[in-house]
Amino acid sequence: MIRLAFALTAILALAACETTKGVGRDVQNAGEALDQAI
């Protein structure tokens, strides 16, 4: 049971990390598009 909880926690942590990276890329791309538009 403890191993299952640890595995689930690890998977959720990795997913959150990827989500944060994706948001960062989206914000960066939006900023670049805004710079090019001006």
Q: What DSSP string describes the chain?
A: -HHHHHHHHHHHHHHHHHHHHHHHHHHHHHHHHHHHH-
Q: Which residue has the tokens 């689930």?
A: 8
Mean pLDDT, residues 27-33 taken together = 85
Share of the chain above pLDDT 90, in %: 0
pLDDT band for position 24 (50/70/90)? confident
- Residue-wise pLDDT for 11-20, tens only, equals 777 777 777 7
pLDDT band for position 2 (50/70/90)? confident
CA–CA distance, 34 with 27 (Å, rounded to integer): 11
Question: Two tokens at 8?
Answer: 């689930």
Mean pLDDT, residues 5-33 taken together = 80
